[in-house]
Amino acid sequence: MAQVLDSSSVNFQMDPVVLDLGQRFVDAGFELSLVGGPVRDLFLGRVSPDLDFTTDATPDQTLSVIKRWADNYWEIGRAFGTIGMKKSGFQIEITTYRAEAYDDDSRKPVVAFGSSLMDDLLRRDFTINAMALRLPTLELVDPFGGVRDLHAAVLATPGAPEASFSDDPLRMMRAARFAAQLGVAVHDDVRLAMSEMAERIKIISAERVREELVKLINGAHPRAGIDLLVDTGLAEFVLPEVSALRLESDEHHRHKDVYQHSLQVLEQAASLETGPDGPVPGPDFVLRFAALMHDVGKPATRRFEPGGAVSFRHHDMVGSKLTAKRMKALRFDNDTIKAVARLVELHMRFYGYGDAGWTDSAVRRYVTDAGPLLERLHRLTRSDVTTRNQRKAERLSFAYDDLEQRIAALAEQESLNAIRPDLDGAQIMALLGLKPGPVVGQAYKFLLEERMEHGPLSREDAESKLLAWWAAQAETAVELSTEPAADATGGSPEPEES
């Protein structure tokens, strides 16, 4: 039997718009309850800008109640019983009581409308989301112990977890997401069901999995979420490259555990995010995901060297390609894919600076190659230091401090964020008497290399270097034109008969 609690003992701060909406439904002869995440967040002391309601009214009946009240409304989710709207800055969804399940091979839920709040709560993912506030009376309905589980920081399901995950396998991803967002532990029977049913996540669309993954990575405790995915085997189907990192702890412990190292880098990168006015406002998915994926190229590049050393040559390049491939499979947008993959590719670029130092040219290339990702690259590189050797950690930190100071000094002199050749395309064509074409691009590239290597040049010096380059191109062309031509078969031509 459902337990109905008097909410007078709880200090609910309810916006008047919620109470107004509840009264309108009651006046029209319907039930309305605030449900799910917004109720959970009230107990956590948070206010959600998105409000979810459930009702015994059909979508048509819901529309008749809210049409003149809402600032605007939409019917995109009507087939699933959901009407959306905006009112006084709140985004609101009202859904008819329902039950839904998946066929064994289906990616879409089969929806059936219900008539009971209790049945509606039973079909929800976890007990902490299976609470409701009846409106406008503010009676708390908690039939499955959601408040208890919130206080215990435990994630459990209203019914059997096997049934819940069979109905909607995406709930297994949500379990990991809530572990990351709320820092809650997962009940033993939930963990067991996730392990036994992990493969069922394959029937869920890549887009839905991606959305849960992004929320997980951006959570307050992303390490806990990733650990749950890996421990239960879900990562084998969602992020197999991360699962593979566990193989990098060999029996002789000749090198660090790359999986744990990657989780530590993820945590450290998140800690270096800035406030909303800083260069990398958190949570920043691009930085965090690059931190998690930065070493995924190591399993494919691991080599045991003479003397027992282990090497991972070119794991940055391999990892960049693996990261892009995984993100494409998860249907990320191209800009996000390129940004994360580029950070993975560049994460090793700094190493060696502390030993040998860099020329101004190398610093310019570092900045130019990073482009708009420079601030993220700074944080990723610093986060990649997880050594317990304090002296080594301090040396690397000092070296990167020095590099950032070099970048700042050069930026004051040269505007590194927009390095261009000292002559533009029009000036190149005018000086060399060229029309637009590939040769102009080659000349432009030559001047860009000169700019990288030597810094800004005066116009006279740039023109002099370009003319010298152009003369060398002409000489090369003449030399090539005087060489014997190869015949059609690729060999040298036969000598002409006299």
DSSP class of 384: T
Query: Which numeric CATH code is attached to 4-152?
Result: 3.30.460.10
Report residue 221: phi and psi, to 5°: -135, 60
Residue 44 backbone class (left: φ over 0; alpha: ψ -120 to 50; beta: rest): alpha
Distances (CA, A) of 340 to 52, 356, 375: 33, 28, 13
Q: What is the DSSP string of 78-139?
A: GGGTEEEEEETTEEEEEEESEEEE--TT-SS-EEEE-S-HHHHHHTSS-GGGS-EEETTTTE
Chain centroid offset of residue 126 CA: 25
pLDDT of residue 477: 61
Tally the residues of the chain. 498
Question: Which 3 state secondary structure label does DSSP give 364?
Answer: helix
Does domain 239-418 match CATH 3.30.310?
no
- Write the burial class of residue 253 (CB in 10 Å: 0-12 exposed, 13-18 middle, 19+ buried): exposed
**Whole-angstrom distance, CA of residue 330 vs CA of residue 361:** 38
pLDDT of residue 101: 55
**Whole-angstrom distance, CA of residue 74 vs CA of residue 86:** 9
pLDDT of residue 308: 76
Distances (CA, A) of 269 to 70, 281, 404: 42, 12, 17
pLDDT of residue 126: 97
Handedness of CA 437, 438, 440, 444 (dihedral sign): positive
pLDDT tens for the chain, 498 residues long, are 344 444 444 445 678 999 999 999 999 999 999 999 999 998 888 877 789 999 999 999 999 999 999 999 999 989 889 999 999 989 999 999 986 555 666 556 666 787 799 999 998 999 999 999 999 999 999 999 999 999 999 999 999 999 999 989 999 999 999 999 999 999 999 999 999 999 999 999 999 999 999 999 999 999 999 999 999 999 999 999 999 998 655 444 444 589 999 999 999 999 999 999 999 999 999 999 999 999 999 998 888 888 778 888 899 999 999 999 999 999 999 999 999 999 999 999 888 665 667 888 888 888 889 999 999 999 999 999 988 888 888 888 888 888 888 888 887 776 655 567 778 888 989 888 888 888 888 888 888 888 777 777 888 888 888 888 888 887 766 554 445 544 433 343 333 332
pLDDT of residue 181: 96
Structure tokens at 492: 């040298």
- Write the burial class of residue 483 (CB in 10 Å: 0-12 exposed, 13-18 middle, 19+ buried): exposed
Contacts of 199 (CB under 8 A, 6+ apart): 237
**Whole-angstrom distance, CA of residue 189 vs CA of residue 165:** 12
- Domain regions of the chain by residue span: 4-152, 239-418, 425-475
Q: Is the peptide bond before 136 cis (omega within 30 degrees of 0)?
A: yes
